[in-house]
Amino acid sequence: MSNNTSNHSRIPWTQVIGFVLSIALTFLAVWFGLYMDLAYKLIVAIVFVLALLQAAIQLFMFMHVTEGEGKWQVGKMLSAGFIAIVIVAGSVWVMNSMH
């Protein structure tokens, strides 16, 4: 349990940093996607890595995923990520190889 929240400051710096990073990542993704002349596959890879980073910021800096049953919760989210990749990447692969 890491519920040590006795001294909450008036300005929650983790939240602020997370917010600034999120905005930066969003614009970075737009810049890579629309203003850099890269191969489509490379763009896909880059923007998804950026999206995953931003998702991690939500989980850890905004949603306090490590509080309470932190280990189980992080484990749940990681396995959810695995399942999500199986569902999305698996379906794309299956549907694209059906002829």
User: Footprint of other proteins on this chain (CB under 8 A)?
Assistant: 3-6, 8, 10, 12, 15, 18-19, 22-23, 26, 29-30, 33-34, 40, 43-44, 47-48, 50-51, 54-55, 58-59, 61-65, 67-69, 72-73, 76-77, 79-81, 83-88, 90-95, 97-99
Task: Annotate 44-82 with b (16+ C-beta within 10 A) or e (fewer).
Answer: eebbeebeeebeebebebeeebeeeeeeebeeebeeeee
- Min CB(5)–other proteins separation in Å: 5
Tokens of 41: 């596959």
Q: What residues contact 21, with CB distance under 8 A and at least 6 apart?
A: 54, 57
- Min CB(74)–other proteins separation in Å: 9
- Min CB(57)–other proteins separation in Å: 9
